[in-house]
């Protein structure tokens, strides 16, 4: 239990104890009835100064005086702590923790992102834009507010701790992105993730070329080297600037255009087994089918009109985001499109 909440419960327990002591004290010392004892306890604690139920004896006066002094201190502590609990953000923190726990329990077919640095935060932003549920694991408590705003659910802790992967719902997750700066940690997390969920898609970051092979052996499906990609990208801005500008336009999170992946399973039943021509995708939605990935994994660029999306294959489609929304409503069963890895 959170220490702040524990203190609040302790204070409220003392308040309940104080009321009980007052009722019992007035009944024993002054021989009051239960109703009279409640009345005397209430006016003593609140210090409103109403008339006593019956005149107090000398013992009753001493008890009442001590009881008033005790309650003044007790309730000053409780009111002060409640004010801090509300205005210093602890109440918000408790609510976030409660909502986060409930969200984690409901997670299924989601993406886990390990690390909320430069690469991890951009991955989360893109996932949210693509309407995919994601859980972030990060060991920096000071990032909690930013994490709660960015992700659907959060686990504050070290991603190399298997329990944190379990808490993030790795057994029900669809994919995991491992974006920590340490190659050693990325290898270890990859091993743990593959052991905890043999079917999960694992995408890991690497800083050193020597680590790439180790990550693949550990179970990573895809390994990305941001530094290498960055250097290649800068060189291509010189060698083929127009191509890079076009790709940047597609990859921009806030851009008007996007490139998406469509699987056979996502198609509505009435469109399964139909060709590109028969589906009339371009005329109906404005979206273009720019590539077809066969079941074997090879790509056919600008597939002919007679191409049919077979089970295990993928269409790569390009269009404005509003056109893709129309495409989704017209042709897909799901309320989201699959994220394409650029």
Domains of the chain in sequence order: 3-88 (1.10.287.70), 108-224 (3.40.50.720), 256-331 (3.30.70.1450)
Q: Retrieve residue 46's tokens.
A: 């609140």
pLDDT by position in tens, the chain (length 342): 556 667 667 777 888 888 898 899 889 998 888 998 898 888 888 777 677 777 888 888 888 888 888 888 887 777 777 776 666 556 566 666 777 788 888 899 999 999 999 899 989 988 888 788 999 999 988 888 888 888 989 999 999 999 999 999 999 999 999 999 999 999 999 999 999 999 999 999 998 888 999 999 999 999 998 877 777 767 877 888 887 777 777 666 555 778 888 999 899 989 999 999 999 999 999 999 999 999 888 999 999 999 999 999 999 999 888 898 899 899 998 654 444 433
Half-sphere exposure of 320 (CA within 13 A, CB side): 6
**pTM higher than 0.85 for the full model?**
no
Q: Cα separation of 179 and 138, whole Å?
A: 10
For 200-225, the DSSP string reads -EEEEE-SSHHHHHHHHHHT-SEEE-
Q: What are phi and psi of 154, to 5 degrees?
A: -135, 145
Q: What are phi and psi of 6, to 5 degrees?
A: -65, -40
Q: Cα separation of 233 and 120, whole Å?
A: 19
CB 163 within 8 A of CB 188: no
């Amino acid at each position: 239990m959170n220490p702040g909440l524990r203190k609040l419960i302790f204070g409220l327990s003392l308040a309940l104890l104080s009321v009980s002591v007052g009722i019992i004290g007035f009944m024993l010392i002054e021989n009051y009835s239960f109703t009279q004892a409640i009345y005397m306890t209430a006016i003593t604690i609140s210090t409103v100064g109403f008339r006593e139920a019956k005149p107090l004896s000398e013992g009753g006066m001493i008890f009442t005086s001590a009881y008033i002094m005790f309650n003044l201190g007790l309730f000053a502590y409780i009111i002060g702590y409640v004010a801090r609990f509300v205005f210093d953000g602890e109440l918000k923190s408790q609510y976030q923790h409660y909502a986060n726990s409930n969200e984690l329990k409901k997670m299924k077919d989601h993406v886990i992102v390990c690390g909320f640095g430069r690469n991890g935060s951009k991955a989360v932003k893109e996932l949210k834009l693509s309407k995919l549920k994601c859980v972030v694991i990060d060991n920096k408590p000071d990032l909690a507010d930013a994490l709660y705003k960015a992700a659907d659910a959060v686990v504050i802790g070290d991603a190399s701790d298997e329990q944190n992967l379990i808490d993030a719902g790795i057994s029900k997750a669809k994919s995991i992105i491992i974006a920590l700066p340490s190659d050693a940690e990325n290898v270890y997390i990859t091993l743990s993730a593959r052991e905890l969920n043999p079917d999960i898609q694992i995408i890991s970051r690497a800083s050193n070329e020597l680590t790439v092979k180790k990550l693949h052996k550990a179970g990573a499906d895809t390994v990305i080297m941001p530094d290498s990609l960055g250097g290649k990208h800068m060189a291509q801005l010189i060698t083929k600037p127009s191509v890079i500008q076009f790709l940047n336009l597609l990859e921009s999170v806030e851009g008007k255009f996007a490139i998406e992946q469509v699987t056979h399973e996502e198609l509505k039943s009435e469109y399964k087994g139909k060709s590109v021509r028969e589906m009339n995708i371009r005329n109906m939605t404005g979206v273009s089918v720019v590539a077809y990935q066969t079941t074997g994994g090879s790509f056919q660029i600008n597939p002919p009109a007679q191409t049919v999306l077979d089970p295990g294959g993928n269409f790569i489609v390009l269009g404005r985001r509003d056109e893709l929304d129309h495409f989704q409503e017209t042709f897909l069963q799901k309320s989201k499109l699959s994220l394409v890895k650029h």
